[in-house]
Amino acid sequence: MTHWKIGLPMYSGCAPSDHRLLVSRIVEGLRSGGWNEPVEVVEAPNDLHAFWRRADLLLGQACGYPLVTQLAGQVRLLGTAHYDFPGCSGFWYSSHILVAERAGARSLADLRGARAVFNQRDSQSGMNALRHAIAPLALHGRFFSSVAESGSHRASLQMVADGHADVAAVDCVTYGYLALHAPNALASLRILCRTAPTAGLPLITSSSVDDATAALLRQVLAQVFTTDPADAPAARLRIGGFTATRLADYESILAAQTLAHDFAYPELA
């Protein structure tokens, strides 16, 4: 018998106890809906890309950029949560482009020659969104004086706060959770502007999951992600809905990549 895996690790570090409760509610909903097979909760996979590709993945949360560039045909898209933070609207979200509070920059153009930092090369919110915003301003494939990869949004913010970098892009959900649970991480930073909106982090299952199971998963997610009652973990996590999105809803991510290439700016530089 397959021991199915469930994990929502993308934002879990910001409010771990509520994310654990949220996953528990999802498992309870699946049981109530007739799901009887064994389920194992995976809180922090060592390798996210391997986790997303697991044949026994019942439910996971991925990033939109790898979804459309690497995972198409390997996973099944279930839908997208609605988050209630500035920069979010329905299942859409955006990134905040952040600089130090003391920085003189008042526009993207003022960042020419600055030091940029991003979390990971395959991140929509930290890399692709920033690349899309900067591409029209780049000259001969360059805009920044240096670009560094930090490994996480939190590390990127720390580098800007400490003066080791000048600008980073962080998605509005991560920013919102930090504002609620770790405001000191944002105390010396300022939002310069927001990036163009795209569909938020996709909820996925294995491509081997059948139609009936996918329908049950969507039903449970829609139920659990409704913030009623107000003390439910979804409400505390500022999740207020669910849309059964399609891959077509993520086309803007590929369009952003294409625009950067059209401006001869394939890499943050």
Q: What is the pLDDT of residues 2-41, one digit of tens each?
A: 899 999 999 988 889 999 999 999 999 999 999 999 999 9
Q: Where in the chain is the domain with CATH 3.40.190.180?
A: 4-81+199-254
Q: Where in the chain is the domain with CATH 3.40.190.10?
A: 92-197
pLDDT at position 1 over 80: no
Q: How far is CA 262 from the centre of its chain?
A: 25
Q: What is the pLDDT of residue 2?
A: 85
* pLDDT per position as a tens digit, 163-219: 999 999 999 999 999 999 999 999 999 999 999 999 999 999 999 999 999 999 999
User: Could you tell me which CATH class the domain 4-81+199-254 is placed in?
Assistant: alpha beta
Looking at the chain, which runs of residues are DSSP E strands? 4-7, 39-41, 57-61, 75-83, 92-93, 95-100, 115-118, 146-149, 168-171, 189-194, 198-199, 202-206, 239-243
User: Could you tell me which CATH class the domain 92-197 is placed in?
Assistant: alpha beta
The answer to whether 153 touches 95, Cβ cutoff 8 Å, is no
Q: What is the DSSP letter of 138?
A: -
User: What tokens appear for 144 in the block?
Assistant: 């920044």
